[in-house]
Structure 1
Amino acid sequence: MTDAAPRLIRSVRLPDAVEARIRSDFTAPPPPENPLNTQSLLELAHSYAPTAIILTHTAPLRQADIARLPDSVRLVATVSVGLDHLDVPALLARGLAVSNTPDVLTDCNADMAMLHILAASRRAAEYFTLVKSGNWTRPLGMDEMLGRRVTGKRLGIVGMGRIGQAVAHRARGFEMEVLYHNRRRLTPEEEAGATYYDRLEDMLPQCDILSLHMPGSAGAAPIINADTLALLPRGSVLVNAARGSLVDENALIDALRSGHLAGAGLDVYSKEPNPNPELTALPNVFLTPHAGSATVETRTAMGMLALDNVAALAAGKPLPSAVTA
């Protein structure tokens, strides 16, 4: 590591292989012990004068924050696909480059969605709690704690991008009928037999399971609310491994309590890392802590791609995963 190496700071500690590359090829302070928030990241940026900032959703940058960035910063590289924690137009208007980490996390996020589809449908959280608590003291009756079969069910996917298509591919292994709603209809090759619905409201009554895979948008109204939930068949399952802002959690709680939804699988929440306790207390919700990409392989690939962008910027080359709008 030399003074000529690109200078960067990061808002979080990255996987070991990524940290080793930072020590070898970049000039950077030690990784933070805990994820930095926006204010702490800005303070570090002013004290260290980096060329690049690597961050995640724990340190969002809005327009006012971007105005406070030091002039040394030329790139903001987010270790994520989603961009809802960044004001991308404001970053670009200031002349800063922006990059994200698409593709490398597709498979693990799709795997997580399938985990939630299975767990929410088969009441995994309730079974786990029963056994772990020591309260399983007699055989279950033939009519007790029955889940819902996944094989052969109708799966509705909202957002048929890379991850949505990967979920559809996995669902076909369970002989599921795939329905989808998307901003545009896919090509026949991409659809692979899935049924397209131009209007979400037309698809929802046909879904046994609904899985969300569209990006969030700061300030946008939730796409899943009391009205859209009411269109789902009674006893259906909702899975959200995309963004917490897509779901009106009060409406979701009502639907779960009333039995209109049999269950839900959630990896994301409107408030993180402290989700609504009324939601987390419900027995028929399978919960994970925004961990869709949390495997050694995927988080390492994400960090390496972020560093590839920093290295490309320093070398005057095109960014491998630039965000341009």
Structure 2
Amino acid sequence: MARVFRVGTRGSKLALAQTEWVINALREKSPDLKVEVTVIKTRGDIITDRPLREVTGKGFFVKEIEAALLRGEIDFAVHSLKDMPTELPDGLTIAALCNRVDPRDVLVVRGWNGNDEGLETVISLLPENPKVGTSSLRRQAQLKHNFPNWQLCELRGNVDTRLRKLDEGQYDAIVVAAAGLIRLGLQGRIACFLPVEVCCPAAGQGVLAVEARQGDEETLNLLKSVDEFSVRVEVEAERVVTKALGAGCHSAIGALAHLSGRELSLWVTVAEPNGEKIWRHLSKTTLPDDPSTWLDEAQKLGMESAKALLSEGAIVR
């Protein structure tokens, strides 16, 4: 009898859409694949009354799923990579990194009926001191620096909840990841994309991570079919630089790598939490002809970027 693979996921519309994408991609390679979806509630789903940076611990949106994976209750799990700490629990591995959609942050404006516009145009249409919602310290610090007149307010909840709070008038605008809106077919809500110079995204933003147990060769071989090497190279640079900078789950650090042909670029932003000071660094490298060296080269680029920022006085808190 063919094995039935059990996949774990959070229960939000976005998490389920991401899991469905992975299952469909796997079935393109293995049409007879049998999969059962197990929904697991995480600590991040339960704690909704305060910012997660005020709560001790890490891995708020993955820990319970990883525990189920280690117990053998599921065979693999689908996460948003940016929710995952850089250090994995012993016995687990990221078997596939895939389906990176636009990694940028976006501005969603209440009552917006236009198409995606330039940032200056959208800002000119906001109230004088707009109430802008975001839950991320990284976003808040960069936005405080660039838009000191904005009233930045806490915003928690899944994509639907955040949009509902906006539409109810609790905010004039909100800042969220483009990827979540795109995956849910809600890209029409985007008023404008935020340039990386204005709001550098979190490392791994827009990437799906498929996690499995080390040693489960059947599952690992299955998941290998959806792994995307180019995404893995970008993510390697992003996660290495954040780790080298000593970034925690709630540090105000953004990192975005882009691989085009053999050209790998890495943009990194470090901000003081209050937004008073900000450090930015852009580095580029041409990768060797041999792709087997590219992950090592991505690591080097990340380390060099971290050293450059620290030498410039960047403070990570």
Work out which structure has the larger RCO, using CA pairs closer than 8 Å and 6 or more positions apart in sequence.
2
State which structure, 1 or 2, has the greater radius of gyration over its C-alpha atoms: 1
TM-score bucket of the superposed structures, by smaller chain: 0.3 to 0.5
Point out the structure with the larger strand share.
2
User: Could you tell me the TM-score, scaled by structure 1's length?
Assistant: 0.33
